[in-house]
Chain A
Amino acid sequence: MLQKELPVELSVIIPVGDRHADARALFADYEEGLDKLAMRYEVIFVLDGPQADFAAGLQPLARERRNMTILTLTRSFGEATALMAAFEQASGELVLTLPAYFQIRGSEIPKLVDALQSADVAVARRWPRAGGHLEQLRRDAFHGFIAWITGLRFRDLGCGARALRRRVLEEISLYGDQHRFLALLADRQGFRVKEVDVAQSALDRFTGHYRTREYAHRVLDIFTVFFLVRFTKKPLRFFGMVGVTTFGIGALLLLYLVIDRLGFGHGLADRPALLLSSLLVVLGLQLFALGLLGELIIFTHAKSIKDYQVKDVIQFTRAQRAGNPENEAVTP
């Protein structure tokens, strides 16, 4: 980091993955918005894997400016990991992440940062949005699904433009592709999250190249959220439910077979349904046992996994100085 006289107020982090626009055009657009902010800012580009063409375009830009850092990861670790790596270099009290390709208009950046006055996290929602009805439907289905699982309604998790306070990233650890769920995870940690409508960039167009892969990724994303939200704290609730259901179906089937054998004299030994029912019973028990093991893990680590986040501990000294409330670190 360059040593500056005045502290940086805003750190702009731009993770650069495989999908990226031309560095010069992109940054010119962002810089226009950033300059309107009247804040001292720094820009950190993280190259998630050696993105040679982007890096080539970036070098001259970095040379012209004192407030630009380029961090290169040796291989691609995923956007969230790149974000966290860049965050270690960031010194601003506020952090702004921007995508490396055109999603929002650079001139909309002040809107996002201003939203932090009443929130800890502000995520952009591109609106009005270009694209066909089918695309809109797909997006709605995805976000509706996420809302159903988590109870949190967001409408544009795919947008990479987010403004947040420093302590949000200090408390949340992200990895892999979890950057999409930053808003969800932040909300779960008790931060105030706000969605801000921003104008979509005219250059943001869905290319439609890797459609199936994209779908597969979204489904996996939903699984990720499901496990992060539902599973990590109460494994038995989840496994127990699935296990008891499976066990119940198997037991009912078995009961039917036994009644059929005793009451109506249909043979039991040569029925494949016997296999199915015992398989279900056993599977249910296994799932349940898995839930118990999960519960054991939680139990033995309950001291280090906190269920809650303390905002402040307020106590005044005996001298009754109406001083500042002491801030206590939440994690040991």
Chain B
Amino acid sequence: MNDRPKLSVIVPFFNEEESIRPLYVAIVNAVEPLGVSFEMVFVDDGSSDATVRIATELAAADPRVRVVEFRRNYGQTPAMAAGIEHASGEILITMDGDLQNDPTDIRLFLDKMAEGYDIVVGWRFNRQDKLVSRKIPSRIANRLIGKVTGVPINDNGCSLKAYRASLIKEIPLYSEMHRFIPAMASIAGPRIAEIKVKHHARQFGKSKYGLSRIYKVLLDLLVIKTVASFTSRPLIWFVLLSLPMVAVGTATLGWSLYVMIADHQNLPLPVAGTGLIFLSSALILVSGGAFGELVYKTSDMREHHFARLTARLERWHSSDT
């Protein structure tokens, strides 16, 4: 396609043979009246049912449909990442392939994006899922994610989100970070808005992705937090980490020396040893920080890589409005 569509709707599918056609119809019905040029990127996450066949039929009938077919099942984050990579629109909207999101909400997202936001996040205000197994864990997780990342969003797990393509295409997405895309993107300092969206109960099939492996989520969260806070300055981050060690090490070593000199006793070896261990460990940490600095400098990300993303957007807005 030579002309770039305004909007790309990205939908990952994993064994959703019943949902894909109704969803396609719903998207077309919802977006066509808006009068914007759009395309649909359907990512097949290694489905074993007829999803690919149906998607290919849709693509054959409608040139606005692009199907990205995975070789096997990789999970939701890679599916989103692939969709983002293969989308060519200026605004990217991601949504679930199970009909739980409502395509009629797309209009609200476009309006919000037009107000100048870089990321608009859906909030399943009236969520149609099981309370104990899905809603309560997710509420706790969201609270935690908001606290840790500093991006207070009520519903990180909602797939219905809109991004400015120029921003999101530059954000590395891997592991299971689809939950944290706004948090991940926050290293670039975007303007994030949240709007309430409709949420339907599942019509077909079973829920594929649960909040089952909490420890993975926690570790990913930690990674994002550290990576986001130390991306440009790993050395400082590691130095801060080593400060408590220096304190403990100096105190214990100092005390053992004091005992030896002031009380004319033998050096209390275990205490002195502990002090040495902590001090040398602090030294290794600082070296690790220097190493991190090296890694960062040799990578293709420069220091203002992320800062530039939103800075460019700022100009784009002022000329646009």
> Which chain A residues have a beta carbon within 8 Å of chain B's beta carbons?
189-191, 233-234, 236-237, 240, 268-275, 278-279, 282, 285-286, 289-290, 292-293, 295-305, 307-318, 320, 322, 325
Contacts and interface: CB of A to CB of B under 8 A. Distances in A.
The 5 A-B pairs at the shortest CB distance, nearest first, are namely: A190-B71, A302-B172, A300-B299, A308-B78, A190-B72
Q: From DSSP, what is the main secondary structure of chain B's interface residues?
A: helix
B295 interface: yes
Given A289-B285, A290-B288, 6 more contacts: A278-B273, A289-B288, A297-B295, A307-B81, A307-B174, A311-B69
Interface string B281-293: 1001100100110
B46 interface: yes
Interface string B151-181: 0000000000000000000001111000000
B104 interface: no
Contact of B299 (A295, A301, A307, A311): A301
Contacts of B74: 190, 307-309
A144 to B, nearest CB: 24
A312 B70 CA distance: 7
Contacts of A237: 216, 219
Contact of B223 (A286, A295, A307): A295
A285 B245 CA distance: 10
A322 B313 CA distance: 39
A236 B78 CA distance: 19
B234 interface: yes
Contacts of B81: 307-308
B281 A311 contact: no
Interface residues of B, number: 59
Nearest to B62: A316
12 contacts: A233-B175, A268-B271, A269-B259, A273-B270, A282-B277, A289-B288, A297-B295, A299-B231, A302-B172, A310-B69, A310-B71, A320-B61
A275 B269 CA distance: 9
Interface of B: 46, 55-56, 59-61, 63, 65-72, 74, 77-79, 81-82, 86, 172-175, 216, 219, 222-223, 226-227, 230-231, 234, 238, 241, 245, 256, 259, 268-271, 273-274, 277-278, 281, 284-285, 288, 291-292, 295-296, 299-301
A190 B59 CA distance: 24
A316 B59 contact: yes
Contacts of B234: 293, 296
Contact of A296 (B72, B227, B269, B300): B227
A240 B82 contact: no
Contact of A278 (B72, B274, B292): B274
B282 to A, nearest CB: 9
B70 A309 contact: yes
Contacts of B273: 274-275, 278
A269 B278 contact: no
A236 B71 contact: no
Contacts of B172: 299, 302-303
A270 B299 CA distance: 48
A319 B238 CA distance: 58
A302 B174 contact: yes
Contacts of A312: 67-69
A296 B292 contact: yes
Nearest to A283: B281
A307 B69 contact: no
B238 A274 contact: no
Given A269-B268, A274-B271, A300-B300, A310 B219 contact: no
Given A296-B292, A311-B71, A314-B55, A282 B278 contact: yes
Contacts of A307: 74, 77-78, 81, 174-175
Contact of A302 (B60, B173, B226): B173
B271 A300 contact: no
Contacts of A285: 241, 245, 281, 285
B63 A315 contact: yes
Contacts of A300: 295-296, 299-301
B193 to A, nearest CB: 26
